Structure 1
Amino acid sequence: MLTSMPPEGSAAPFPSESGPQAHDITRQLERVISSPEFPGVGRAAAFLRYVVSETLAGRGNRIKAYSIAIEVFGRDTGFTQDDPVVRIEAGRLRRSLERYYLVAGQHDPIRIDIPKGGYVPTFTWSCPASADTRNEDVEALPSPARPGRWERARQVLLLGAIVVTMLALSLYWLAALPTASSLQRAASPSPDRPALVVAPFANLGEGPEAQLYSAGLTEELMTVLPRFKEIKVFGRETSRSLPADVRASEIRAEFGARYLLTGGVRTSGQRLRVTARLLDTSDGEILWSENYDKDLASGDLFAIQTDVARKVATAIAQPYGVMAQVDAASPPPDDLGAYECTLRFYAYRSELSAEAHSRVRSCLESAIARFPNYATAWAMLSIVYLDEDRYRFNSTRNKEATIEHALGAARRATQLDPSNTRGLQALMTTLFFDRQLPESLRVGEQALATNPNDTELMGEFGTRLAMGGQWRRGAALLDEAIALNPGGGGFYHGTRALAAYMLHDNHTALLQIRQANMQKFPLFHVVAAIIYAEAGMMEDARREGEVFVAMRPDFLPNIATELAIRNIQPDDRDRLIRGLRKAGLTVPDPDKLASSVTGISELQPR
C-alpha cells in the first residue's frame, strides 16, 4: 500500500510522486463528505475538510489542536489544552472514517485516515493496483539513462503547474468551509426525517449467554426498525462503533439524531429481562421505557429476540408510536417540512374529515414538488387522492380519473421503493376500489410480509379482507392492530365494529363502535345506526341515521353502487340493507338494486 503525506513543517507542495495526487485526494474528500454513511451534521465534515486542505497546501506543521480549535470550532485565542473539544471531535472523526470505509467506501481508490497521536491526515491507495494504474502510462515509456535538458525543463514546468494548482485548490476549499453544511443540505436527495441511533444493548448478566442475547437483540432491532420508512435509522456499523453507555448528548453532537434507543439484557437462571429506553438526545429525557420478561425454557433464543424486537419497534417507530407522538406534540426545531406532512397524514387518518383532508393534500403535494423521489409522500398522496372519491372529500375529478390518479401515485411510490410499506398499502387500497380484489389482497399479503409490525397497514389490510368477505380474518388483524396501537386511528374500531356485526357478535360491535367515535366521518354514523338498531337502541339508531343522511344524502339512493365498489359480497350486502331498514332508513327496492348493479359497467374490473 502506497502512502503519501508531506513531512510536518514542510512548505513543499503536496504530494509525493508515488502516492495519490492532489486532485485525486480532493475528489475522494468530497466522496466521503457527501456519503450518507458519513455524518451529515455536526463538525466532522468541517474538521476533515480543514485538515486535508491544510495538508495539501503544505501546511502540515500548522495542524495543531490550537489552530483547529480556533479555525474549525470557533474558539477564541485563549484556548488551552484543558478544553478537550479537539481531542473528542478527532476521536469521533476517526470512528466516522472507519465506519465509512467499512460500508460505503470499501471500493474507493483512496483512503483518508487521521492517525492517533496527531491531526495530520494520511492518504493511501486502497490497493497497489490503483497506484499502478496511475503510473501505467509513465512505465510504458522508455526511461533514458540520464535526463536531457528538455526533460529537466519539462519536470520544472510540471512541478510549477502542480504548485499553482494546489494553491488554487487550497484557497478554494478554505473559502468554501463556511458554506459546506449548506451545500450538503442543498444536495440532499430526500427530506429530513426524525433520526434514531441504536446503541448496543448492554450485557448486564453473567456468562457468555447474556452477551449472546444482548448482541442478538441489537442485531434484530437493526433489522426490524428500518422497515418503518417514516424514520431514519443509522446503520449497523454506526451501532457497532458505539459503547453501550454512550451519552445522549454525544449522539446529538456526532450524528444530529434526535432519538437514542438504549437498553440492557440480564439473565438469572432461566429468566431473561430486557430493558429498553428511548431518549431525547437534546436533553437526555427518557421518553419511553419498558421491561420485557421472558422464560428461556419456554422458547428458543431466536423467537425471544424476534418477539422483543418487534414489541420495541412497534412501540416507538410505528406511525402512531412514541416518536410520532413526541414529534406531533412538540415538533423539532429543524425545518423538517415534508416530515410534518406525514404527521398531518396520520392525524387526518385518525379524524377522517374533509377539512383535514384538504390540508394534508396540499401539504403532500408541496412535499413531492420539493422531493419528487420521496416514496412515502407519494404513497400517502395516493390514499388522499382515493379519499376524494370513496369519502367524497374535496373532489376535483370524476370517479375514473380519481382512481387513475391514485393508482399512478401508488405505483410511483412502489417504483421508487418496492419495500415501502406505505406504498404497498396505497397500491393495495387503490386496487381494491378499482375492483381488482384478488390483486389487491395479493399486494396486501406482500405488504404484511414486508413489515408485519406496522399497525397502520394491519388496520387497512384487515379492513380490505373483511369487506371482501373474509370477516373473521379481517377481525383478527384488526384486533392485533388495536392491541399493538390502542390509541391509533378510530377507523380501526369502526371497521372492527362492522366485522363484529357481520359475525353476529353484537356485544363486541357495541363496544367497538363506542370506541370509534369519529363524528366527522359519515360512514361511522351509518355503521353505528345499524349496530344500535340490532341492539334495540332505536333512538340512538335513528339519531345516527339522520346524521348520516345529512352528511351523505347521495349514499342510500346509490347504495348498490356504493356497496359494489367496496367489494361487499351479495349475502353481506343483503344483510346490511336489512340492518339499514331496521334502523329506520329508506333503502331502494332490492330487485331494483340488483338490476342497477348489473347494469353499471363502470363497476367492472378494469
Structure 2
Amino acid sequence: MLGGGDGTVGASPQAQSPPAAEDVRAQLEILLASPDLDASARARRFLRYVVEETLAGRAERIKAYAIGTEVFERNADFDAQGDPVVRIEAGRLRRALERYYLSGGTLDPVVITIPKGGYVPHFAWRVPPVEEAHPVPAAPAAVSPGPPIDPPLRRRTPWLVAVPVAIAFLALLGGMLLWGPWRDGASRTPQAAAAFPPGGPTLVVMPFEALGEPSAKIYADGVTEEVLSQFARFKEISVLGRETSRSIPPGADAARIRRDLGVRYMLEGSVRAAAQRLRITGRLLDAQTGVVLWSQTNDEDLQVRDLFTIQDDVARKVVTAVAQPYGIIQRADGTRTGSRPPDDLEAYACTLRFYDYRAALSEENHAANRACLERAVALHPDYATAWAMLSVLYLDEDRFGFNPRAGSSTPIQRSLDAARRAIRLDPENVRALQALMMALFFDQKPTEALEVGERAVELNPNDTELLGAFGTCLSQAGAWQRGSELIEQALARNPGHSGYYSGVLAVYAYMQHDYARAETLIRQAALEKFPLYHFVAAVIYAQLGKASEAAEARDQFLRMRPTIFEHWDDEMAKRNYRPEDAAHYAEGARKAGFPVPARTAAETALEASASPH
C-alpha cells in the first residue's frame, strides 16, 4: 500500500542520518506543550514513555503489558489480550500525531510517529538539518530491484515531456504560447493564473520522472495522466491543465514556476522500473518556500497486478491524500490563511473551518461556523461551496439540535434552499450535491436523496467527506452493508477523521447485535462534545450489561439533549430507520434507562405487520 515505509507524513528523504536524542527530546517537548496535539493526558504520558524508553535503548521492552502497568497503572495481573486499552489508546495517539503534523506541526523539523503493528516510535527529519543552496544532482545509480531507491532531490526537477506525437505537439505548442519567457529570460504572469478563484489553493502537476528501464517512461506518463484526471474531481482546488504541465521545461525552478504560473503547490514524482517491479514516489511541495509538505512511496509488482490497476490505485491514493477535504493542501492552507487579502480570507477560511467542525461536531463550533458562512455568502453570493456548507449547518440545527433558530422557515427548509442555490450556481459541485442529499434525506425523501448521493459519488468517488455522508444515509435507510463499506473506505483513506466513521460503524455493529465490536468502535470514536455519541455508547453498554458505564453515558446525553424523547418517533422517522432498526434502538434505550415511550411507532408497525389479517 502507499506509504513512505513508516507512513511518516512529510518526512524528508534527504536526511542522511536519523535525529539525535537531543533533537527527539526537543521535539517531544514541543509536542507535549502544543495545544494542536489533540491528545489526552494519558495519551501524552504514553507518548513520553515510549519515546524515552526508545532513546534509552529499551525498545524491546515496549509491549502492551509494560505500557498497561507502567503508564496506565493497571495491576500486575493485567491481561493485554483481553483488555484493549493499550491498543485503543495507541490508535488514538497515532491519529493525533498525524493530525498534528498536518496542522500545527507542519514546520516542525522532527517527525515522531508510532507505526502500526507495535508501540515503538519512529523518528525522522521532516527537512534536512542543513540544506545546500545549490544541491548537486546525484550520479545515476545502477537499477536494482532489491535495495531501497531514493527519491530525487527536493529542488531537482528534471521532468520529461510526453512521448506520443500528438501529446508532444500540444506540449510544444503550449510551451511556445505560455512558456516563451523561459527562452528569453523574461518573466510574466500568464492569463491562466488570473482566472483562478480568489483565495482557493492552486496546484500544478509536474510530469512524473521516468527512472531505470526504458519502459518507465510509459508508466510515468500513465501515472501523470491518471493523477491529472482524478484531481479534476475536486472542485475546491484549481489545477493547471495538461498542456501547461507538460510544457514546463526540465529543471524549472519552483520559485519561478510560482511566479510565472501563480500556483501555490507543486506535485512531483517519479516512476522507477526494474525487473517487473515499480517504485512510484509522489511529493507535494509548497512552491513559495520549497518545503516538502508530503511524500509517499508505492512499491508494485507487475506480475501481481496489471499496469492499469496500479496506475488507477496509485493516482487515487495520491490525489485523496493531497486534495480531499481533510488532506494535505486543506491543512496546509488552514495554517497560513492569515497572509491572504482580508476580503478573500473571511470567505475561504470559513470553508476550511467547516471541516474542523465536521471533525469535532460540537455545538460551539457550529454556531461560529454558521455565522462565518452566513457572512461569506452575504459578501460572495455566488460562492457555491459556502452555500453548500451552510446548508449542512442549517440541517444540523434539526438533526443534532445545535443552536436552533425560531422563525417561519424550518431548519430543513433553509437547508434545502441553501443546497439548491449551491446546485444552481455549480451543478457538479460535490459538496453541494452532498448537502442536497442530506437535506432531502432528513426531509424524509430517502429515495430522491440516495439518487443524488449516487450522482455525487459518481462525480467524485475519492471524496471522503462525501463517502461518509452517503454511507451514513445508506445505512440508516437499511442498506447497512453497503453503507458500512463506504464508511470503511472513508476511514482507510482518511484515518484522521476516524471519530465520526467509527461512530457510524459502531451503530452498524449494534444493529447486527455484535455488541462487543460496537463497544470497541464507540470507544474509538470518542466524540465527547457530540450528543449522539453518548446515546449510542449508552445503548451499547446497556446491551452488554455494563450498567455503570451505560448510566454515565445516558446522563451525559440527557444533559445535552434533554427533550429529544418527547419527539422520539419523529426523530426515528426523519432518520428513515426501518421499523426493526428503530425498535432495536428503543430496546437498548430502555435498558439504558432513557425515557423512551412505552410503545413506539416502530414497535406498533412491527406488531401490525406480524399479526394475521
Counterpart Cα distance in 1 of 2:294 and 2:182 = 40
Counterpart Cα distance in 2 of 1:296 and 1:585 = 57
1:257 aligns with 2:263: yes
CA contact (8 A) 2:171 2:246 kept: no
Candidates 184, 192, 201, aligned match of 1:194: 201
Counterpart Cα distance in 2 of 1:118 and 1:308 = 37
Task: State the 1:245 CA deviation.
Answer: 4.2
1:272 aligns with 2:278: yes
1:527 aligns with 2:533: no
Candidates 214, 220, 228, aligned match of 1:222: 228
Aligned twin of 1:578: 587
Aligned twin of 1:42: none
Task: State the 1:595 CA deviation.
Answer: 7.3
Aligned twin of 1:383: 392
CA contact (8 A) 2:267 2:283 kept: yes
CA contact (8 A) 1:191 1:374 kept: no
Counterpart Cα distance in 1 of 2:227 and 2:601 = 56
Larger displacement relative to structure 2 (479-488 or 241-250): 241-250
Alignment of 1:212-361 (within 5 A): 212-243=218-249, 245-331=251-337, 333-335=339-341, 336-337=344-345, 338-361=347-370
Which one-letter code corresponds to 1:471 in the other structure?
Answer: W
Aligned twin of 2:416: 407
Task: State the 1:331 CA deviation.
Answer: 3.4
SS in 2 for 1:487: helix
Aligned twin of 1:517: 526
Task: Sort the Cα spacing of 1:528 and 1:115 in 2 relative to 1 into closer, same or farther, 3 A.
Answer: closer
1:440 aligns with 2:454: no
Counterpart Cα distance in 2 of 1:101 and 1:275 = 26
Task: State the 1:470 CA deviation.
Answer: 1.1
Task: Specify every segment of 5 or more residues in structure 1 that has no aligned partner in the other structure, as ranges.
Answer: 1-97, 120-176, 598-606
Q: Give TM-score scaled by structure 1 length.
A: 0.67
Task: State the 1:404 CA deviation.
Answer: 1.9
Task: Sort the Cα spacing of 1:113 and 1:264 in 2 relative to 1 into closer, same or farther, 3 A.
Answer: closer
What is the CA RMSD across the aligned residues, in angstroms? 3.2
Aligned twin of 2:65: none
Task: State the 1:531 CA deviation.
Answer: 1.1
Task: Sort the Cα spacing of 1:578 and 1:409 in 2 relative to 1 into closer, same or farther, 3 A.
Answer: same
Aligned twin of 2:217: 211
Task: Specify every segment of 5 or more residues in structure 2 that has no aligned partner in the other structure, as ranges.
Answer: 1-168, 607-613
Task: State the 1:506 CA deviation.
Answer: 2.1
Task: Sort the Cα spacing of 1:184 and 1:372 in 2 relative to 1 into closer, same or farther, 3 A.
Answer: farther
Counterpart Cα distance in 1 of 2:250 and 2:183 = 23
SS in 2 for 1:293: strand
Counterpart Cα distance in 2 of 1:430 and 1:543 = 32
Alignment of 1:127-138 (within 5 A): none
CA contact (8 A) 1:421 1:450 kept: yes
1:366 aligns with 2:372: no
Aligned twin of 2:97: none
Candidates 467, 470, 474, aligned match of 2:479: 470
Task: Sort the Cα spacing of 1:474 and 1:117 in 2 relative to 1 into closer, same or farther, 3 A.
Answer: closer
Counterpart Cα distance in 2 of 1:438 and 1:272 = 44
Q: Deviation digits for residues 333-390 of structure 1, max 9, x if unmatched?
A: 2234222111110011111122111111121122222322222111111111111111
Task: State the 1:398 CA deviation.
Answer: 5.1
Counterpart Cα distance in 1 of 2:233 and 2:192 = 26
Task: Sort the Cα spacing of 1:439 and 1:522 in 2 relative to 1 into closer, same or farther, 3 A.
Answer: same
SS in 1 for 2:339: coil
Alignment of 1:413-428 (within 5 A): 413-428=422-437
Aligned twin of 1:64: none
Counterpart Cα distance in 2 of 1:271 and 1:189 = 39
SS in 1 for 2:597: coil
CA contact (8 A) 2:171 2:247 kept: no
Task: Sort the Cα spacing of 1:112 and 1:568 in 2 relative to 1 into closer, same or farther, 3 A.
Answer: closer
Which one-letter code corresponds to 1:282 in the other structure?
Answer: Q
CA contact (8 A) 1:493 1:513 kept: yes
Larger relative CO (CA 8 A, sep 6+): 1 or 2? 2
Task: State the 1:184 CA deviation.
Answer: 12
Aligned length: 435
Candidates 597, 609, 613, aligned match of 1:588: 597
Which one-letter code corresponds to 1:221 in the other structure?
Answer: V
Q: Deviation digits for residues 173-194 of structure 1, max 9, x if unmatched?
A: xxxx9xx99x999x97943201
Task: Sort the Cα spacing of 1:344 and 1:284 in 2 relative to 1 into closer, same or farther, 3 A.
Answer: same
Counterpart Cα distance in 2 of 1:566 and 1:273 = 46
Task: Sort the Cα spacing of 1:301 and 1:397 in 2 relative to 1 into closer, same or farther, 3 A.
Answer: farther
Candidates 545, 555, 570, aligned match of 2:564: 555
Task: State the 1:412 CA deviation.
Answer: 1.6
Counterpart Cα distance in 2 of 1:455 and 1:432 = 19
CA contact (8 A) 1:189 1:373 kept: no
Sequence identity percentage: 48
Which one-letter code corresponds to 1:327 in the other structure?
Answer: D
Aligned twin of 2:499: 490
CA contact (8 A) 2:580 2:602 kept: no
1:461 aligns with 2:461: no
Larger Rg: 1
Task: Sort the Cα spacing of 1:269 and 1:570 in 2 relative to 1 into closer, same or farther, 3 A.
Answer: same
Which one-letter code corresponds to 2:462 in the other structure?
Answer: N
Aligned twin of 1:60: none
Task: State the 1:530 CA deviation.
Answer: 0.8
Q: Give TM-score scaled by structure 2 length.
A: 0.66
CA contact (8 A) 2:569 2:601 kept: no
Counterpart Cα distance in 2 of 1:316 and 1:184 = 22
CA contact (8 A) 2:172 2:247 kept: no
CA contact (8 A) 1:202 1:264 kept: yes
Which one-letter code corresponds to 1:504 in the other structure?
Answer: H
Task: Sort the Cα spacing of 1:226 and 1:550 in 2 relative to 1 into closer, same or farther, 3 A.
Answer: same
CA contact (8 A) 1:190 1:373 kept: no
CA contact (8 A) 1:189 1:371 kept: no
Task: Sort the Cα spacing of 1:243 and 1:332 in 2 relative to 1 into closer, same or farther, 3 A.
Answer: farther
Counterpart Cα distance in 1 of 2:594 and 2:260 = 63
Task: State the 1:549 CA deviation.
Answer: 1.0
